Amino acid sequence: MGETAAANNHHHHHHHGHQVFDVSVPQQPAFKCFDDDGRLKRTGTVWTASAHIITAVIGSGVLSLAWAIAQLGWIAGPVVMLLFSFVTLYTSTLLSDCYRTGDAVSGKRNYTYMDAVRSILGGFKFKICGLIQYLNLFGIAIGYTIAASISMMAIKRSNCFHKSGGKDPCHMSSNPYMIIFGVTEILLSQVPDFDQIWWISIVAAVMSFTYSAIGLALGIVQVAANGVFKGSLTGISIETVTQTQKIWRTFQALGDIAFAYSYSVVLIEIQDTVRSPPAESTTMKKATKISIAVTTIFYMLCGSMGYAAFGDAAPGNLLTGFGFYNPFWLLDIANAAIVVHLIGAYQVFSQPIFAFVEKSVSERFPDNDLLTKELQIKIPGFRSPYKTNVFRVVFRCCFVVLTTVISMLMPFFNDVVGILGALGFWPLTVYFPVEMYIKQRKVEKWSTRWVCLQMLSVACLVISVVAGVGSIAGVMLDLKVYKPFQSTY
């Protein structure tokens, strides 16, 4: 930025004699504070981009990692995690070349992942991508409802344990907590532009670091107290689970780990905050290297410390599985942080669905008053009236009710996370980035690079399929044990 300003000043003094140039003085700042697409100048650097990625990634995925490693064991667990991180690193690099269509320096910018798919791959693939993405967001809303209500319940249980000195097992149902969470989300979903509130993401980042760090710290303390690293080289033993269950759980563990790395969707949006020169893709490649290194180390620590602390009995959700009883106030802080994070994150992930449905409906039925007429409601104490319409209120309520009901039908955190990881991993993290890259860089069909990319894609497809099947099998097995709507912990 400094250089261009200096150049302009120099330019300006040079021609001071000519009246013509004085006319262009007011436009000088305009040149300085806007980018080539007329938006405000982007100021992001490698460090801000890395921070954004890290905060976008580290979240509720951490909670199921110890369980995933327990299914795979000390050898396969870390190896699988490294593999996922390399695949994600590689496809993120491919994706960073898709921020601009055509030329890396001056091509047309794509502001979101979906824009990139639309402008590079065209309409049909764009529709499929949209379908997968909205399904994924819908699933995340369910997963977050489960996780948040289990955390609320864990606070209640840990206090009940503490009161009875561990004598009372404190069995409870998670349903009331799901309903509380649902009601909260119904209210929040009516707040206009909730996802635009700037401090939401800061709060979310602080919260997710809080509970991840507490989970890690408790694992380390537990290992120190045991004086030994628990766990085995091959994971949970066949005595504990049957041979077939072992296979399903191994597959499901892949889905859980994939979920922890599922953030390729936000990469282009983060790249859109980065300043140029240098070309945005260069900055972004550095940022993905840094952030994937940091998150992988962090995940490795969380997952392996959790496994080392509990061995094969590692709970599906590290902070609510009651491996840790004390210090109970620390667990309560961690679970409260999870609840706060997920209340906000639920909205952030469901806003795109709301926007999409409401836009399609208003385009489809422009004349229907129920759907498009804006009502203004005066709220005492607020200056501007609250704008809404009937369809928005009804649709958002129904959406939240639907996610809550599904969560109550299958309140199994890891299974749902495994399904989501499987659903998002191949299409969004591998297939579309690879296809866009091939199209962008005009990779020759049947050339070595093309064949390698396709092999990577097929391998990841297989991983996604087995992870999905394993997780669905997990849901089926759990439903045999739990009766829907009556599950207690």
Per-residue confidence (pLDDT) for residue 371, from 0 to 100: 65
Residue 4 maps to a domain: no
pLDDT tens column, 98-155: 999 888 788 899 998 999 999 999 889 999 999 999 999 999 999 999 999 999 998 9
Dist. CA 277–CA 403, nearest whole Å: 44
Mean pLDDT over 385-389 rounds to 73
Q: Domain for residue 390, yes or no?
A: yes
What span, in angstroms and rounded, lies between the C-alpha atoms of 323 and 244?
Answer: 26
**Residue of 7 and 121 predicted with greater confidence:** 121
Which pLDDT band holds residue 83 (cuts at 50, 70, 90)? very high
d(CA 173, CA 177): 8
Per the DSSP assignment, residues forming a β-bridge with 306 are none
Note the pLDDT of residue 372. 65
pLDDT digits (tens, 9 = 90+) for 146-189: 999 999 998 988 888 888 776 777 778 889 999 999 999 999 99
- pLDDT score recorded for residue 488: 58
Residues forming beta bridges with residue 387, ordered by sequence position: 376
Residue 174 domain flag: yes
R_g over Cα of the chain: 25
Count of CB atoms situated within 10 Å of the CB of 142: 22
For residue 390, what pLDDT is reported? Answer: 82
For residue 392, what pLDDT is reported? Answer: 86
The CATH number given to whatever domain includes residue 151 is: 1.20.1740
> Per the domain annotation, does 230 fall within a domain?
yes
Is the residue at 13 inside a domain? Answer: no
pLDDT at 369 over 90: no
Q: Which is nearest to 219 in space by CA: 414, 57, 66, 54?
A: 66
Instruction: Return the pLDDT at 232.
Output: 87
**In angstroms, rounded to a whole number, what is the distance separating the alpha carbons of residues 314 and 297?**
20
pLDDT of 252 strictly over 90: yes
| pLDDT score, position 7 | 41
Query: Is the pLDDT at 27 greater than 60, yes or no?
Result: no
pLDDT of 323 reads 61
Q: Which two tokens stand for residue 101?
A: 């269509």
Full residue range of the structural domain in which residue 279 is found: 51-480
The average pLDDT across 279-287 equals 92
**CA pair distance 113, 196, nearest whole angstrom:** 18
Query: Across-strand partners of 101?
Result: 108
Predicted local confidence at residue 197, as pLDDT: 73
**Which is more confident, 270 or 197?**
270
Using pLDDT thresholds of 50, 70 and 90, give the confidence band for residue 322.
Answer: low
Coil/strand/helix, residue 207: helix
Angle of the 328-364 helix axis to the 175-189 helix axis, nearest 10:
50
Q: How many domains does the chain have?
A: 1
What pLDDT is stored for residue 124 in this prediction? 93
pLDDT of residue 28: 43
Q: Is residue 11 part of a domain?
A: no
At residue 57, the pLDDT reads: 83
| Residue whose token pair is 């948040």 | 148
**Distance (Å) of CA 141 to CA 65, 185, 203, 263, 352:** 20, 10, 18, 15, 12
Mean pLDDT, all residues of the chain: 85
pLDDT at residue 215 tops 50: yes
322 neighbors 171 (Cβ within 8 angstroms): no
328-368 residue pLDDT tens: 888 899 999 999 999 988 988 888 899 889 888 888 887 77
User: Span 46-59, mean pLDDT?
Assistant: 86
